[in-house]
Homo-oligomer: A and B are copies of this chain.
Amino acid sequence: MAQPVQDRVVRLAELEIDPARLEEYRLLLREEIEASIRVEPGVLTLYAVSVKGHPDQIRLFEMYRDQAAYEAHLQTPHFRKYKTQTQNMVKSLRLVETDPVLLGAK
């Protein structure tokens, strides 16, 4: 059923990755997502997809339990490693802050 949404923090990210570094980038992204989901109770989803036909265009759908969980995530060693190690692979990054309307999930 639909989750209560009042405290959820949902952020979208649109990234363009250097095509020459794409495999490295995807490896670091996967490592970061897996660690976040495993060790952070407040990280509810980190969905990563690429635009069909454009594997260098990555979209993330990030959902955190609340603002504190989001801020804690930014300070974790796995997130900081991801940010540092991917900074030269990311050609552009657009963050979209959002207000949840309805977060329907099984």
Q: Count how many chain A residues have C-beta atoms less than 8 Å from C-beta atoms of the other chain.
A: 38
Identical chains in the assembly:
2
A45 touches B106 (CB 8 A): yes
Interface residues of A in 54-106 (CB under 8 A from B): 55, 58-59, 61, 63, 96-106
A51 touches B102 (CB 8 A): no
Chain B residues with Cβ under 8 A from A26's Cβ? Answer: 101
Known contacts A1-B37, A105-B44: A100-B49 contact under CB 8 Å: yes
Query: Does residue A2 face the partner (Cβ distance < 8 Å to B)?
Result: yes
Q: Which of B2, B44, B103 contacts A106 (CB 8 A)?
A: B44
B33 touches A98 (CB 8 A): no
Known contacts A2-B33, A37-B104, A104-B33: A99-B55 contact under CB 8 Å: yes
Q: Which residues of A contact B (CB under 8 A)?
A: 1-2, 10, 12, 26, 29-30, 33-34, 36-38, 43-52, 55, 58-59, 61, 63, 96-106
